[in-house]
Structure 1
Amino acid sequence: MGAGRRVREAVRMTTNRGRKALMLALSVAAVAGAGLVGGAVTPAAAAAAGLEWHDCDPAVKPLPGQQCATLPVPLDYADPDGEQIGLAVARLRSTRPEARRGTLMVIPGGPGSSGVQRLGQKGAALAKEMDGAYDLVAFDPRGVGGSAKARCGFDEDDRRLVTLRSWPAADGGIGENVARSRRMAEACARNGGAMVRGLTTANQVRDLDRLRQALGERKLSAWAVSYGTYVAAVYAQKFPERTDRWVLDSSADPDPKHVAQGWLAGMARGAEDRFPDFAAWASDPARPEGLRLAERPEDVRPLFLDLAARLDREPRASATPGVPLNGTVLRQALQQALYSDASFPAFARLVSQALDPAGVPVLPPELAGPMPDEAATVSVGVICNDVDWPRSVPAYERAVAADRTRYPLTAGMPANITPCAFWKGGAVERPTRITDRGPSNVLMIQNLRDPSTPHSAGLKMREAFGGRARLVSVDKGGHAVYLGNGNACGDRTVTRFLTEGVRPAEDVLCK
């Protein structure tokens, strides 16, 4: 049976059994879990809660031993006995039951990233580090992967990464961005229904707690990355007594007045922080032909800016028919490449191809075609439902003009208008304010030069948590730290916290 069919079948069975029975089962599981030493769970408790584990569909590309299940949750928590939807769940069980101390949730970024996929990517390395201390569990948030889908019905051109990211025109104008944003907001209002309105951080937090109950756990531990750190922070604020060891990897400013708008704005600062790493790499004499872009690091930035301006005026045909390489595509390719040193060679090669009059630029796959409607819907829906965005077009015009001048690498994109400016109904709920009230069990880790969640934004999350948290700053560039950038100090600190409960007495710097 395919993953999608399993989800539909689980939801159907839940409905047929009676929704009140489901709620009773979840309550029984939660009570049972509260009395278990170390949060251990029996198969009977999990089954009573509706989690029926099975072999994963091969399309998931599961790791050896990985199991999958479907978690029924309310479409609308205001009507918990109403329509149920299914969320795809995956786990890797501890191979050392005698060492097991609970469940570690792997919370993905996004909005729109798959937890099941991230478990597949990081599960083997994480299991090795944890050495049997946890069952590793993840789920696909609403609208993502194998979970219930949401669709706005966006036009194909509106689902390209360079249009979902609202890049201004070459002259800085935002007229086309305004028209597209209005069109996309209207599409969601027309086609999205309750599924789109249910795409919120608050609901992901509720779904996470529903999964905790279904697992029979009194408390959860977590490793959250990027946007997932906000999900984890809100969970820790709403359910502090249900958190055990909480790791936030690459956090942004949780200010409830801005939330996602502030995250987007942070990309401008982040690109400036990170670009010197690429410049040093691309000017290193050790680079092979075609990858060394300049003799000195300080020459790489003007080379890039000049090339982007030329491509604004005269786009180049690429290896993807119908998708030229223009300045916007080049800037978006840079923004993605800054996430990891491993992406530097491909981006340098793209620049070299664009500089060669006879070259044929090869675009990154994610820029060669549109995103699926479901993926685009989630990425827009969550940020627009979470907080009210400014609606004044002239204010966006002024913000873009200022941002282009201050941060030319991102050319005003982070300050630009989005569909949220025209979102019907505004925010679904009031955003949660993160505070220092709660157990001191949070470990944050952050690269100093992060292109997406800059260190300065991570400090805002650290400030919000106060004495509840410790921050490990890592003298590296890129997005995501633990088991991602090879920094032994950072990895060792997180592993020791999760496995032994040992956390630095104060904030530390790993070099």
Structure 2
Amino acid sequence: MTPIMRNTVLTAVPAALLVALLPPLTAQAVPAPLAWGPCAGTTVADPRQECATLQVPMDHADPDGPQISLAVSRIPAEKPDSRRGALLLIAGGPGGSSLNDPSGKGQKLPQDVRDTHDLIGFAPRGLAPSTPVDCGLEYGDLATSRLRPWPAPDGSVDGNMATARRMADACARHGGELIEHISTADEARDIDRLRAALGERRISAWGVSYGTYVGAVYAQLFPHRTDRIVLDSVDNPDPARVNRAWLAAHEQGVEDTFPHFAAWASQPGNPDRLARRASDVRPLFLRLAARLDREPVPWPGANPEELNGNVLRQTMLDSLASPGRYPALAGLMRAAAQGTVPPAPQAPPEELLQNVAAVGAATLCNDVAWPTSQARYEKDVAESRAKYPLTAGMPRNAMLCAAWPFPPREAPVRITDRGPSDILLVQNERDVNTPLAGAIRMREALGRRAVMVTVDATGHDAYLANGNECGDRVVSHYLATGERPARDVYCR
């Protein structure tokens, strides 16, 4: 793939000038100080992590109306005398939490970043232990292959539309008023309330996956409240489609990534080898999926309780997120070829699944209006199946948003180049969940505000995970010093 290089030299706005431009923090603008204490009801890896609760308006348009709580965590800067500020860890999802990240992934950060920054995590609105939301979905609808629905083996979406109506109706019945107020813009406004409660004029952030869109929206709504912003594994900010564009991108993400899996699965000496040649792995997968469409294998304890073609396809999509998951996909393919199944995967508690599903659905459906026409989905699915057989039309299919009963409360935030130049994007070339093409769209939208590091690596989550030493070094240097590359770079 051609390296991304731009010739425009980008310079950051001096921090002192930004601080001078900031309005004063009035008593009305500052929430009550956070009361830090032990993290109750959760096991954390690092005893230094402490927790607090922040009250925010359920409806930011009605700040004096009903309030909800946000669970917040931190590990203070390890060298208080050198402290610069706070680094907010923004999880992916939607439906992900960074509450335990200060004592988890945050400890992978370089020492000079941990010395100078409080590491801050939080559970977004609706996600326990913040004020929770729940749709009361049927257990079968909690399967990933239902939440991100796959068409029937013949390409029909009749069943998907019926499922969308059933699930959306459940959310309307059980979600309460809060489910109408869960969106990316709401989360960005919550973050600014958190910034103020921390006593920070500006805040740094490391957002991953969906968290990159949260970070971009925050930087758009509150441009002079940002310090050092890292967006890692970047979502397409397309204001017309938003989340629909992210799901549709899976078809290209699989095409970008599957050849890497095929090369691994055909390597001599690999105990999980599936074929002698990389070129044989794709047709093998397609044959197995088609056979399982016709002849599912019972799978007691799984959800659903059968290994069918779409479960195999969903496993493929999940496994391509990291080379470390390749053996799981290879093992399932070997079992399918023999008409058997491995032990059923251990599912999280249903209460947790219900909560995460509700927050994810509300965010996806409230951010942007989705088509409601079955004919529209039939057309899109047919086109996708013809062009991208590995994903069988799922990325353009009707999920419960096709029947969502609540219209969006505001238009999607349009990401632009207006604001300080303090954003660093880091993106793997081969990423099944957030493909490079979407990251390029974000880079174009941000213009002079951003620099992009493209990493010659495979997997989702680039920085300190599935990237490479070159990319990690560039990002770490920026977080520690505020110095970005003068232009976009390619890390081979």
Aligned position for 1:221:
204
Say whether residues 1:441 and 2:422 are aligned partners.
Answer: yes
Matching of residue 330 in structure 1 with residue 312 in structure 2: yes
Does residue 138 (structure 1) correspond to residue 121 (structure 2)? The answer is yes
Equivalent residue for 2:334? Answer: 352
Contact residue 265 and residue 281 of structure 2 kept, 8 A: yes
TM-score of the pair, normalised by structure 1: 0.88
The correspondence for 2:368, drawn from 387, 406, 421, is 387
2:411 matches 1:430: yes
Secondary structure of the 1:374 match is: helix
Corresponding residue of 2:38: 55
The alignment status of 1:162 with 2:145, answered yes or no, reads: yes
Where does residue 18 of structure 1 map in the other structure? Answer: none
| Higher RCO, Cα 8 Å, sep 6+ | 2
CA distance in structure 2 between the aligned counterparts of 1:455 and 1:255, rounded to whole angstroms: 14
Task: Give the drift of 1:27.
Answer: 4.2
More helix by share: 1
2 CA distance for matches of 1:420 and 1:195?
17
C-alpha contact (below 8 Å) 1:112/1:144 kept by paired residues? yes
Cα distance change of structure 1 residues 345 and 161 upon mapping to structure 2, 3 Å threshold? same
Distance in 2 between residues matched to 1:441 and 1:416, nearest whole Å = 37
| Corresponding position: 1:409 with 2:390 | yes
Matched, 1:196 2:176: no
Q: Read off the aligned partner of 2:53 and give its amino acid letter.
A: T
Find the partner of 1:65 among 30, 33, 48.
48
RMSD: 1.9
3-state SS in 2 of match to 1:365? coil
- Could you list the per-position Cα deviations for residues 467-497 of structure 1 after superposition, in whole angstroms to 9, with x for gaps in the alignment? 1100000011111111112511111100100
State the partner residue of 2:473: 492
Q: Is the 8 A contact 1:160 1:371 kept in 2?
A: no
Q: CA deviation at 1:29?
A: 8.9
What is the aligned length? 467
Matches within 5 A, 1:281-292: 281-288=264-271, 291-292=272-273
- 1:259 partnered with 2:242: yes
2:482 to 501, 504, 507: 501
Which whole-Å CA distance do the structure 2 matches of 1:112 and 1:229 have between them?
14
Partner of 2:19: none
Q: Structure 1: give runs of 5+ residues left out of the alignment.
A: 1-25, 32-47
- Secondary structure, counterpart of 1:115 in structure 2: coil
Instruction: Sort the Cα spacing of 1:479 and 1:265 in 2 relative to 1 into closer, same or farther, 3 A.
Output: same
The answer on 1:457 being equivalent to 2:438 is: yes
Q: 1:369 to 1:144 in 2, by over 3 A?
A: closer
Residue of structure 2 equivalent to 1:6:
none
Q: 1:314-336 CA distances to partner (integer Å, 9 max, x unpaired)?
A: 11123536711111100000100
AA aligned opposite 1:344: Y
Q: CA–CA distance in 2 between the matches of 1:127 and 1:472?
A: 18
CA 240–380 in structure 1, closer or farther in 2 if over 3 Å, else same = same
Name whichever of 244-253 and 416-425 sits farther off: 416-425
User: How far apart are the structure 2 equivalents of 1:306 and 1:380?
Assistant: 32
Percent same amino acid at aligned positions?
A: 51
Deviations 1:57-100 (A, max 9, x none): 36242423111111111111122112211111011111111221
Runs of 4 or more, structure 1, over 4 Å off, are 366-371
Q: 1:366 Cα shift?
A: 4.9
Partner Cα distance (1:150, 1:438) in 2: 34
CA offset digits 1:184-238 (Å, max 9, x no partner): 1222222222110011111101100000000000000110011111111011111
* Aligned residue number for residue 318 of structure 1: 299
Deviations 1:415-459 (A, max 9, x none): 001221222232121111111111111100001011011001110
**TM (normalized to structure 2)?**
0.91
Partner of 1:23: none
Structure 2 residue identity aligned to 1:63: D
Q: Distance in 2 between matches of 1:286 and 1:476?
A: 22
Structure 2 unaligned residues grouped into runs of 5+? 1-24
